[in-house]
Amino acid sequence: MCEPSGMESWQPIPRAQPFVPKRGGWYNSQAVIARPLGRRRVLTKIFQVLLVVVLLITIGINIMFILDTSRRLHDEVLTTGGGEELVDGKNRRNNLRLQESQPKSLAIEVVSSQSKVSVSVDGTTILEDDEEHKRRGIHVLVLNQASGSVMAQRTFDTYSPHEDEAMALFLNMVSDGRIIIFAIKDEGTFQMKQPARDLLKRLGSKRAQVIGWRDMWAMATQKGAKMFGESYSKSTEFNTWGAPVVLRTEVPLVPVEDSECDWADTEENRRRREFCNHIEGYGSVCSCTDPAPLIFNPEPVPNNQVHDVPVAIIASNRPHYLYRMLRSLLSAHGANPEMITVFIDGYFEEPLEVTKLFGLRGIQHTPIGVKNARISQHYKATLTATFNIFPNAKHAIVLEEDLDVSPDFFSYFSQTLRLLEEDEMLYCISAWNDQGYEHTSDDPSLLYRVETMPGLGWLLKRSLYKDELEFKWPTPDKMWDWDMWMRLPEVRKGRECVIPDVSRTYHFGSSGLNMNSYFQDVYFKKHSFNTQPSVELKNVDSVKKNNYEELIVSLIKRGTVLDHSKSPCEENFVPDKKGEVNIMFIKMEEPKDFVTWLQVAKCFKIWDLDARGYHKSMWRMHLKGSEMLVIGVPNSEYAKYKPSNITPIYLEPQKRKTKVR
């Protein structure tokens, strides 16, 4: 049996003293090294504790920031109405702006000179007009204050009368905040009166009161805010122009949401928003606080015979005219938007946008021909398309973009449509009376027959166009007026048109191929226009062929022949007595002898550029509250009623004026 080893047999000694190493030797050196290692551990622990404290403080600050931000956003949503955010996201877009970049600015350069105007934005030319002898006057450009995009472009020939008024009207219709740029080409102040100058001053111009004959001028401003820059060059002599001016300026942009209105989300306002965000110059339709209505609910016309008759609007690139016209048309009693189509001669954006603004059908087509031939081809394309779109339509109403319509426009055609079916010697019903001025028309319930097709709002049969007119319509190489062509004997074939004594349309357009402000003032401004909403026409059957002859003869027989020793140009030629039938006889040797009539028309201050509105060489109108019949002798069938002692009046011709439509 083996003996146990020393370790296995070791027993502790209860009273033994603990071992304490002596100083010096190996154990003492180990103790000296251990002391600095302990201090490092302490410093490390302290540093770690400090890091933990800093981290906790940082976390606390972030949590407080997040909570504070959430509270503020929540309060903003409550303030603006949190329910709307779920509808269209507008409030979320308006409130959460932390990620949006700061608005930038536009570098704008404007040139004004005798032969050229131009506007460039950030180096890109957005307007340049250097065509000789065209677009004289003040060029106006409207830019979006958030994007810099072009919202409107107009030229006002302020060398001509009333163009300054048109410019003022346009500028007043531009929304506040829009950027407006002005530049003169050639001459822009000859007819610019004080109200227009005052308006330019209110827009920030320092030169508006001193811009003169052939001076050059350019300005960039923000409506309702500040003027960014203006340049001016004075003409030193009457026969010279001011030196070209170049305006360079920086225009700051604003956030998109600051340039838009917060309209309620409706079908009407969706159209409004689409239009107003990129088209300008339409006034209250784009008002943020009180926008003009786009949906009309006019009174119905009882037993409306034209409810399903298509209405074709002849339009070009005159969008403001179209806007005005459509508002009056859609407000007329009995209007049916489903039957209205706007036909635009050319691919112009703004007229189509105006059409869409009202929720109507718009069709653009490629222009054919030039000048009058182009207008003629536009009419043909419009009529063809109208009867193709509505293959079951037996009639169509044709209107032009520069016409107001009366409240009873559709009622008038509803009451007269049957005449086209019942009288084969009629080929149109018109809403316009060529001789119907404020002083020559009196009775809105009265109808006439005339040989000259008036246009300006008229009704025709499908069969007339498809069977007679379409295939022989003047070709694009014929520089003819379409309405003059329709008055030719071989087209008219002895047929006539029915017209009202008081017109149901009003011609307001002062610019166009055959129109300017002078002719508008002289020949159209004082035309009568019915404003009564419900007019019952008087004895509609009286204008049927045989009935009308009996009516005219009865008027002649009970009429009073005026004193033919006086000139019709004298104020007392027509007595101041109402309710009478007055008759005068004028010299008229053959059907086209209108020499005396045109001088009489001048005296009466009515249309005197050519002969219109007659029936069998007899003109019918009102003067001083009485009916007036002017009968051509010997050409008229009614010449036989001339008393033997009366000599027909003859007036010498005067110098002819330039013909316009």
Q: What residues act catalytically?
A: 402, 483
Residues 6+ apart with CB under 8 A from 622: 440, 441, 442, 443, 501, 628
Task: Please enumerate in sequence order all residues whose Cβ is within 8 A of that of 447, keeping only pairs 6 or more positions apart, or say none.
Answer: 416, 498, 499, 500, 501, 537, 538, 540, 542, 543
Task: Output the CA–CA distances (angstroms, integers) from residue 221 to 129, 176, 226, 249, in the order listed.
Answer: 21, 11, 6, 10
User: How wide is the angle at C-alpha 533 spanned by C-alphas 529 and 536, nearest 5°?
Assistant: 95
Strands of 83-163, DSSP E: 105-112, 117-121, 124-129, 137-143, 150-156
Cα 309 to Cα 493: distance, rounded to the nearest angstrom: 25
Please report, for residues 22, 574, 581, 596, the alpha-carbon distance to residue 630 in angstroms, rounded to integers and kept in the order given: 154, 12, 11, 11
The residue behind tokens 């039938």 is 581
DSSP string, 246-285: EEEEEEE---GGGGS------HHHHHHHHHHTT----GGG
Between CA 319 and CA 285, with CA 312 as vertex, the angle to 5 degrees is 35
Structure tokens belonging to residue 172 = 């007043």
| 326 contacts 320 by C-beta, under 8 angstroms | no
- The answer to whether 237 and 118 have CB atoms below 8 angstroms apart is no
Count Cβ atoms below 10 Å from residue 27 Cβ, excluding itself. Answer: 11
Residues 341 and 279: their CA atoms lie apart, in Å, by 21
- Distance between CA 105 and CA 146 in Å, rounded? 9
CA geometry: angle 162, 612, 457, nearest 5 deg: 65
| Residue the block writes with tokens 């059908």 | 361
| Radius of gyration, alpha carbons of the chain | 42
d(CA 485, CA 373): 11
Distance CA 113, CA 119 (A): 12
- What residues does 109 pair with on adjacent strands? 120, 248
CA geometry: angle 494, 500, 503, nearest 5 deg: 125
